[in-house]
Amino acid sequence: MAYDVTDFHTLMALEPHGPDVFVGIGPAYPWGRVYGGQVVAQALRAAYATIDTPHFVHSLHAYFIRGGDSDEPIRFEVDRIRNGRSFLTRRVVARQSMGPILNLSASFQVREDQADVQETASSEGVPAPNALAATDWGPILQRRTIPQEGARAACWLRVAGDLGGDRVLQDCALAFASDDIPTEAASRSHPRHPGVAGLPEDYDEVFVGASLDHAIWFHRPGRHDDWVLHQFEGHGVVGARGLGLGRVHDRNGVHLATIAQEILIRERTR
């Protein structure tokens, strides 16, 4: 039976199980497997638990190895790869009884007073979140989907509840939300994407799909318990793989993060 987890604070409350080992739990999800954003966020939280200096994540790269089981706790094993003055590096392996389900590397940087230049801005004319219908699939992540054409997907997202000024929780909230929208953009590049005339509407009837690998570059701190805009574009499909690239902006147009994700999009043959 899946665990009764309905808020982000509980999701991030990892239990220590020996030196640099932590255990987390999560809820059931409508599609059956553990949501990949949960595992990425909990792995990042585990990495942060081994840092007692004012270093904050600036990038992470993760490979999804197997689909997780919501009925089992997840064990996060952290390896302290490097402790430097400016940068720290951590590696985290998430495991369940079937073996590893995620391998994550993260780099953390101390704040440096250097140039801050933003070259991008959120698209003008995007509807405000309060003008859109709710498209939530669970109690932790709130969603307001913006209709798009072509190989694009956009959504206002926020983690439910007040996370306050806790930079670590806010970074983990971005990691949690980051796995939601890129799959849609990447899959829209495929000529058999559901919704095309004459094809089934159910994605799972057409494809076997999964997240393969995932990267986040954290540019600026933000409040991910407030509405932030996730905008993605599909960059083609080849070899049963699709790529989605996107940016995250806050309500004021500040560029908070850039995200890339590669997905499995294999056509069913039977």
By annotation, the residues acting in catalysis are 179, 211, 261
Helix (H) or strand (E) holding 168: helix 167-177
Residue 174's nearest CA partner among 250, 244, 111, 116 is 250
Rounded to an integer, what distance in angstroms lies between the CA atom of residue 71 and that of residue 211? Answer: 20
Burial of 268 (0-12, 13-18, 19+ CB in 10 A): exposed
Dihedrals phi, psi of 74, to nearest 5 degrees: -115, 130
Which residues, 6+ apart, have CB-to-CB distance to 127 below 8 Å? 146
Rounded to an integer, what distance in angstroms lies between the CA atom of residue 215 and that of residue 178? Answer: 9
Residue for token pair 């000024």: 165
Tokens of 269: 């043959």
